[in-house]
Structure 1
Amino acid sequence: MNKRHSFRSLLLVLLVVLMTVSIWPVSAFAYVPYDTNYKDSFGQLVWTQSAYNPVAALGRDIYVPDPKDPSKQVYSPLVQPKDLFIDSKDHIYIADTGNSRIVHLDEKGQLLRILDVKESPLKKPEGLFIDQKGDIYVADTGNKRVVRLDNNGKLMKEFKQPTSKFLPDTFKYDPIKLVVDKRGFLYIATLGGYQGLLQLDPDGNFLSFFGANKTEFSVMDAFKRLVYTREMYLREISKLPGSVASVTIDQNGLIYTATKEVASGQLKKLNIAGKDLLAFKDEFSDSVTTKSFGEVRFPPKDKLQKPQLSDLTVDRSGNITAIDSTLKYVNQYDGNGNLLFFWGGSSPASSNRLGVVKTPSAIANNSKNELFILDEENGAVQMFRLSEFGALVHKANQLTQDGRYEESEKPWQEVLRLNAYYTPAVLGLAKAAYKKGEFEKAERLFFEAGFVQGYSDAYWQIRLQWFQKHFGLLMNIVLIGGLALYLLNRFTRNTSWRKAWKHRKPSEIPLVNQLKHAFYILKHPLDGFAAIRYEGKGSMLSSAILFLVSAASFCVMRAGTDFMFNPSAAQEINLVTIFTQFVIVWFGWVISNYLISTIYRGEGRFRDVVYGSSYALFPFVLLGLPLTFLSKLMTLSEAAIFSFLETALIAWVALLMVWKVQAMQNYSVGETGMNIFLSMATMTILGVLIFVTFGLTNELKDFFYSVYQEVTIR
């Protein structure tokens, strides 16, 4: 009886488990053939739940009347489709480039019609746009024109190459993508058009170029311009800015562009004046910095392969999603250009997997913020729908973007519960805490998120509140302390112990005097270094002590400087690595400087170079710790002061090194400059030689190991 009861209990438990599994949300077990990631403020890879799930592949079932027998239907697949557009009714339009036609599907992907403009046939169209009236604009690339069709597909107007004295003779009019604003103005991306988007009025008249990229100017280009003659420079290959690959427009009339073959500014969000709203002001200066877009999970095997963002779309929430035609990633950013997700997966060449796009050529979204990616190789449109996690992130981020920080707190908490490493959730909660006046919590969260400006703002408020609370006490301490010092000086001026201290004898311990000599060098550098050379004011022990203490102070500065001025402090810092780098640079300088001095009429001995180079580091000992402590009391509004003090410290050490060379080698000012220049060049050469030696050693080791494997196997 007991066995039968136990068996029934077991069956009941199994039944409950099966019922639970059957009613559990399908999305919890949904499998996607790609990984979704995020990169935090320090570039560290974070794995997240899937933001979008693949739903369907559309556009594969296209049948048209048989030309030989119109009563029959023949299969007519997409061939090298280049562009995709979804109108206000969520209807899907595809630029079927290989077939020189436009394919119109309904919201479910069912074929509605084929547009081929019989009165003026299309030729390899690569771009299209549908305005609010339903008029269809097609970038008819093969015919070098843009055509405007009414909603029935009838030709209304042609926009051929405009004539204008402002258009250069070298300009080629090959339209590939376009958008039309509410005024009817056209913004056309042309093949190789480095001047930017071609802006035409509704009548086709040229207005201007819009949203051009800047030419990248490297150090080598500056060097060439400095040393090349005009004839030599003219023979150089022209360095042109990147050409716009794609363009889209949002519901507010802002224009977005995607550019390939550039290192930064691959995505732009342009207002009517052509200003990039995704560029941001640097936190430490007034300069405008252009962001870099296009994410990479792991460095590709081919190091020459870099992200190439070829098309983009903007959803109703302002989120920007771009496709990478080279590495096959889908990258999604919010309206300010901050990364939300990126995803992608590999697929064997012989298989077709739902959700994996082999050759992405275009991307669009519908009114439900569903994504549609055009796969040129497979001739289909992959449809993606927001997952529960992705929808939650979008909701919370939209509230944050709208400034409703307190409302965003609960959604962000749920996101953080689902993924504790998703940094935007931490940042959203930090902004909510700041808005509610919880500045200490906000400071901690901004630090975790790696957001320097928010951390500084929160600390500013904490510091202000602390001063307001303790101002009276601080003033009393200052007044009482100042009065006490005045009275102490007044009543002890003629006492015996003050006179004895004033006329105290130098210490009889040589090491103490040698260490005190570092202070003398700060006031009289040339005489001080000369005294080390000719009067024995330094020793190996005192130099070693100063060097080690200086190295320790430098390590403390690098690791202890506050997060606001040293964002890497939020990560784990390897003090051994910092100390090793400091030692290598110092030894490289000592050896290089001594070698150059011996062949350049120098009088200093090797030990003089060692002693002097150690004493020249003394400002690190004197100011390193105070500067590190000061960084913890300042905010970004005082960044100019901190930067000046830090630069002054480095400059002080550098000047002491210069005076050391001049005094110990008995050089003139010109000879000192030449010696230092040659010493730096020697350091560079030594570094290259060491790098090459280690590289060859590793190669040689691998060679011998391969030979050993061959011998042992055979």
Structure 2
Amino acid sequence: MKIRCHRWRLFLSLIILCTALLPATTHAEVKYSTYTKDSYNNQIWLQPAYFPLDVIGEDLYTTDPKQPNVKTPSPLRNPKDIFIDAKNEVYIVDTGNNRIVHMTEKGQLLRYLTLPESPLNKPEGIFVTKEGDIYIADTGNKRVIKLDKNGKMQTEFKRPDSKYIPATFVFDPAKVMVDERGFLYIAVHGGYEGIVLLDPKGKFQGFFGANKTALSPLDALKRMLYTKKMYANEVAKRPETINSVATDKNGYIYTVTGGMAKSDQLKKLNIKGNNLLRSSNKTFGEVVPGDVPIGPITSGPQLIDVAVDQSGNMIVVDSQFKYISHYDASGNLLYFWGGASAVGSSQVGLLKSPVALDVNARNELFVLDDQENIVQVFRLSEFGQKVDQANQQTLAGYYEDSEKSWQDVLRMNAQFTPAIMGLAQAAFTKEQYEEAKKLFKEAGNQEGYSDAFWQIRMKWLQQNFSWIASLLLFSGILYMLINKWTSKSRFRDKWRNRRRIHHSFLMNFKHVFYMMKHPIDGFIAIRYEGKGSYLSAIIILLCVYASLVIKRLVTSFSFDSSIHVDIYSIFTQFFIVWIAWVIANYLVSSIYRGEGRFRDIFIGSAYALVPYMVIGIPLAFISNIMTMSESTIYHYVAQGMIVWIGLLIFWKIQWIHNYSVGETALNIVFTLCTMLVIGVLIFITTGLTNDLASLIYEMYQEVILR
């Protein structure tokens, strides 16, 4: 009995010990979800990459010099910026209290910086150098000030005096950053000219990293049609103002701008001001689709701040949807997480009004919330650490070393696209090209897929070149011999004098190929000689539809990244557009002096699409032996096919309706406008019909229930 009791005590002791150790290895369930997107823009759920670690800045206090033992609460009020220095100490710009709060990384108060000799007025930005010099964007006083590490003011930078600065320019510093040379980069409220660049002595060096003005198609049309006087009366459009500026250990400069296209909100600039992320054609600022409002005006992400961690990853926060997105040094999305906290409550990990963020030397993330007046601290999870480790090895070119790390990541989440991409690069480095090609396709990387196929093709050609060359040589010799031996044979005489086919359907179908060689004569024959038929036109349309489907199914991944082929959608779109074209062209031609009948338009419009069938299908098959290095040839042929179809349609309208060149061009324009009107009418009619049906059904239900 005593032995049994001893065993139970030992068992309970082990349970208690395991429970005590559990918090060291696991975390409580977070209140937010983490996501990523694959190369096809599908959203993928991930396990948390960051866990909430702490909340700091909520227990600040002041003391009365006369009563040092009495502490008076002094919480943050409307803070606007946060900075982590080289010693991992935290600086918070407490805008509402006109002070800088200096704390340890654990949130213990070290001091307040208030500058009694020259008080701060609504400061909004801060930067601390490695030497401990403190730069503050003192917005209300329209200046930037430099303090030494003891908090004593050394220099004051006010509006620079330069002929290159517009007279209307207002110097309201919002954020400040200082590079290794001591040059100041100042983001200014309303400064559409860009970041103000000053040398260490405050001399103006120019504007840096300015955004471009976003012009709509309507603005471009106004520029074309308006006179200078008319255009001068328009409200001037200005570039968006830069919200924040940051730097990394390599000297790159990062800016974020809300209200712009997603591809331009985040920029990584070199010393010349060139955006290193622009050429990649990426988008920045991620949201969960359900968070995007549905309506006539949809507001996109509004990036408010950017930070760069020790690995060079870019972290941005969105003030609109409260999401934090992480991108590697090349601008590739790693993951995004967060979301808005519920109204009327505070939830750890969720955000009310994020305004700034920064990271310390351990890659812990500090997010400042100016509505909650706190700083939330997050730590990388095991998953996040694995991703960061593997990604750094990949970016450094150590593809084989990264393979094990990426495999560990995939064991945690098999759909994580960066891991699949990392394994593909590792396989390519080890010359496992078949495996690399498969992984590149799974990751959605067309360039990598093409490079792997190029290596496979080159290896195959090297192994089989001798017999391919021999086969071509002997085939050529055999063809010449057969041609010589049969030049006077009866068989060739019979083939030359074979009976011509006179079946009407086959003759109409044959006319298609005659029209491709002689388009003008072919269309004239349709109009005046009755060539062609409805049956042959319908068969050609079905063949063109089949060509569209085959092209989507067969084209190499190097030239078409689509993975899902919706046959019904292709059918609907193709036939709706084609039928709308035929009807619109007939209506316009009937009014606009056209001589063609509906039959002629129907048949001619179908026959004009034959090049898609003749060229599109072979091109789709040939693309499977091509790589992106031959993309010029592929696109040249594909565009040539479209031009050919366009010319056939033009000649069809011109010669069937007996138009001049100018009349033909006008007919095409009017036809396209008519198609647009028909589409709008169908949309309105469908909507009204649905509303009427709903009204009748509701009236019926009301009568039945009563």
- Alignment-derived partner of residue 297 in structure 1: 288
The whole-number CA distance in structure 1 between the counterparts of 2:342 and 2:502 is 81
Matches within 5 A, 1:381-396: 381-396=375-390
- Once the two structures are superposed, residues 520-563 of structure 1 have per-residue CA deviations (whole angstroms, 9 ceiling, x without a partner) of 00111111122222223211221111111112112212332221
The whole-number CA distance in structure 2 between the counterparts of 1:6 and 1:594 is 97
The whole-number CA distance in structure 2 between the counterparts of 1:81 and 1:708 is 60
- Once the two structures are superposed, residues 647-677 of structure 1 have per-residue CA deviations (whole angstroms, 9 ceiling, x without a partner) of 1111111211111122222222222222222
Match of 2:419 among 413, 422, 425: 425
Q: TM-score, normalised by structure 2?
A: 0.95
- Alignment-derived partner of residue 310 in structure 1: 304
- How far residue 332 of structure 1 moved from its aligned partner, in angstroms, is 0.8
The whole-number CA distance in structure 2 between the counterparts of 1:92 and 1:172 is 30
- Alignment-derived partner of residue 284 in structure 1: none
- How far residue 7 of structure 1 moved from its aligned partner, in angstroms, is 14
Matches within 5 A, 1:314-333: 314-333=308-327
- Once the two structures are superposed, residues 273-306 of structure 1 have per-residue CA deviations (whole angstroms, 9 ceiling, x without a partner) of 111111225xxxxxxx4x3210011152255321
Query: Is the 1:589–1:680 Cα contact (8 Å) retained in structure 2?
Result: yes
The whole-number CA distance in structure 1 between the counterparts of 2:526 and 2:309 is 71
Match of 1:39 among 37, 40, 44: 37
Give the 3-state SS of the residue equivalent to 1:632 in structure 2. helix
Query: Is the 2:616–2:638 Cα contact (8 Å) retained in structure 1?
Result: no
The whole-number CA distance in structure 1 between the counterparts of 2:689 and 2:57 is 57
Give the 3-state SS of the residue equivalent to 1:567 in structure 2. coil
The whole-number CA distance in structure 2 between the counterparts of 1:712 and 1:579 is 42
Please tell me whether residue 338 in structure 1 is matched to residue 332 in structure 2.
Answer: yes
The whole-number CA distance in structure 2 between the counterparts of 1:67 and 1:702 is 75
- Alignment-derived partner of residue 434 in structure 1: 428
Residue type of the alignment partner of 1:314: V
Moved more, 80-89 or 655-664: 655-664
Residue type of the alignment partner of 2:581: W
Query: Once superposed, what is the RMSD of the aligned Cα atoms?
Result: 2.4
In the alignment, structure 1 segments of 5+ residues that lack a partner are 282-288
- Alignment-derived partner of residue 119 in structure 1: 117
- Once the two structures are superposed, residues 203-239 of structure 1 have per-residue CA deviations (whole angstroms, 9 ceiling, x without a partner) of 1110111111111233222211111111111111111
The whole-number CA distance in structure 2 between the counterparts of 1:238 and 1:68 is 58
- Alignment-derived partner of residue 643 in structure 1: 635
- Alignment-derived partner of residue 106 in structure 1: 104
Residue type of the alignment partner of 2:284: F
Query: Is the 1:136–1:148 Cα contact (8 Å) retained in structure 2?
Result: yes
- Alignment-derived partner of residue 269 in structure 2: 270
- How far residue 6 of structure 1 moved from its aligned partner, in angstroms, is 14
Matches within 5 A, 1:229-308: 229-263=227-261, 264-280=263-279, 289=281, 291-299=282-290, 300-301=292-293, 303-308=297-302
- Once the two structures are superposed, residues 300-343 of structure 1 have per-residue CA deviations (whole angstroms, 9 ceiling, x without a partner) of 22553210000010011001111111110011111111111111
Match of 2:70 among 72, 88, 110: 72
- Once the two structures are superposed, residues 571-606 of structure 1 have per-residue CA deviations (whole angstroms, 9 ceiling, x without a partner) of 211012112211111111111111111112222211
Match of 2:661 among 669, 679, 684: 669
- How far residue 380 of structure 1 moved from its aligned partner, in angstroms, is 0.7
Q: CA 1:612 to 1:115, structure 2 compared with 1: closer, same or farther past 3 Å?
A: same
- Once the two structures are superposed, residues 33-53 of structure 1 have per-residue CA deviations (whole angstroms, 9 ceiling, x without a partner) of 100000111111000010000
Residue type of the alignment partner of 1:156: Q
- Once the two structures are superposed, residues 465-495 of structure 1 have per-residue CA deviations (whole angstroms, 9 ceiling, x without a partner) of 1111111111111111111111111111111
Query: Is the 1:506–1:513 Cα contact (8 Å) retained in structure 2?
Result: no
The whole-number CA distance in structure 2 between the counterparts of 1:700 and 1:22 is 66
The number of equivalent residue pairs is 701
The whole-number CA distance in structure 1 between the counterparts of 2:352 and 2:693 is 40
Residue type of the alignment partner of 1:400: T
Give the 3-state SS of the residue equivalent to 2:585 in structure 1. helix
Query: Is the 2:321–2:340 Cα contact (8 Å) retained in structure 1?
Result: no
Please tell me whether residue 633 in structure 1 is matched to residue 631 in structure 2.
Answer: no
The whole-number CA distance in structure 2 between the counterparts of 1:203 and 1:134 is 18
- Once the two structures are superposed, residues 413-446 of structure 1 have per-residue CA deviations (whole angstroms, 9 ceiling, x without a partner) of 0111110111000000001011111111111000
Query: Is the 2:309–2:360 Cα contact (8 Å) retained in structure 1?
Result: yes
Query: Is the 1:33–1:345 Cα contact (8 Å) retained in structure 2?
Result: no
The whole-number CA distance in structure 1 between the counterparts of 2:381 and 2:704 is 54
Q: CA 1:107 to 1:15, structure 2 compared with 1: closer, same or farther past 3 Å?
A: closer
The whole-number CA distance in structure 2 between the counterparts of 1:496 and 1:547 is 40
Q: CA 1:92 to 1:9, structure 2 compared with 1: closer, same or farther past 3 Å?
A: closer
Identity %: 51
Give the 3-state SS of the residue equivalent to 1:554 in structure 2. helix
Please tell me whether residue 133 in structure 1 is matched to residue 131 in structure 2.
Answer: yes
Query: Is the 1:34–1:346 Cα contact (8 Å) retained in structure 2?
Result: no
The whole-number CA distance in structure 2 between the counterparts of 1:240 and 1:705 is 52
Give the 3-state SS of the residue equivalent to 1:443 in structure 2. helix
- Alignment-derived partner of residue 569 in structure 2: 577
- Alignment-derived partner of residue 202 in structure 2: 204
- How far residue 29 of structure 1 moved from its aligned partner, in angstroms, is 5.3
Query: Is the 2:551–2:617 Cα contact (8 Å) retained in structure 1?
Result: yes
Give the 3-state SS of the residue equivalent to 2:532 in structure 1. coil
The whole-number CA distance in structure 2 between the counterparts of 1:8 and 1:149 is 67
Q: CA 1:68 to 1:305, structure 2 compared with 1: closer, same or farther past 3 Å?
A: farther
Query: Is the 1:552–1:579 Cα contact (8 Å) retained in structure 2?
Result: no
Q: CA 1:236 to 1:109, structure 2 compared with 1: closer, same or farther past 3 Å?
A: same
Matches within 5 A, 1:447-466: 447-466=441-460
In the alignment, structure 2 segments of 5+ residues that lack a partner are none
- How far residue 347 of structure 1 moved from its aligned partner, in angstroms, is 2.4
Q: TM-score, normalised by structure 1?
A: 0.94
Q: CA 1:379 to 1:501, structure 2 compared with 1: closer, same or farther past 3 Å?
A: same
- How far residue 145 of structure 1 moved from its aligned partner, in angstroms, is 0.3
The whole-number CA distance in structure 2 between the counterparts of 1:712 and 1:100 is 69
Q: CA 1:246 to 1:705, structure 2 compared with 1: closer, same or farther past 3 Å?
A: farther
Q: CA 1:709 to 1:409, structure 2 compared with 1: closer, same or farther past 3 Å?
A: farther
Residue type of the alignment partner of 2:286: E
The whole-number CA distance in structure 2 between the counterparts of 1:86 and 1:713 is 68
Match of 1:495 among 489, 492, 507: 489
- How far residue 696 of structure 1 moved from its aligned partner, in angstroms, is 3.3
Query: Is the 2:27–2:51 Cα contact (8 Å) retained in structure 1?
Result: no
Give the 3-state SS of the residue equivalent to 2:356 in structure 1. strand
The whole-number CA distance in structure 1 between the counterparts of 2:567 and 2:531 is 32
- How far residue 15 of structure 1 moved from its aligned partner, in angstroms, is 9.4
Give the 3-state SS of the residue equivalent to 1:468 in structure 2. helix
Query: Is the 2:144–2:173 Cα contact (8 Å) retained in structure 1?
Result: yes
- Alignment-derived partner of residue 57 in structure 2: 59
Query: Is the 2:36–2:334 Cα contact (8 Å) retained in structure 1?
Result: yes
Please tell me whether residue 678 in structure 1 is matched to residue 670 in structure 2.
Answer: yes
The whole-number CA distance in structure 2 between the counterparts of 1:700 and 1:310 is 47
Moved more, 352-361 or 526-535: 526-535
Q: CA 1:8 to 1:487, structure 2 compared with 1: closer, same or farther past 3 Å?
A: farther
Give the 3-state SS of the residue equivalent to 2:300 in structure 1. coil
Please tell me whether residue 406 in structure 1 is matched to residue 400 in structure 2.
Answer: yes
Match of 1:551 among 545, 548, 551: 545
Please tell me whether residue 86 in structure 1 is matched to residue 84 in structure 2.
Answer: yes
Moved more, 380-389 or 225-234: 225-234
Q: CA 1:591 to 1:382, structure 2 compared with 1: closer, same or farther past 3 Å?
A: same
Give the 3-state SS of the residue equivalent to 1:183 in structure 2. coil
- How far residue 202 of structure 1 moved from its aligned partner, in angstroms, is 0.7
Residue type of the alignment partner of 1:275: N
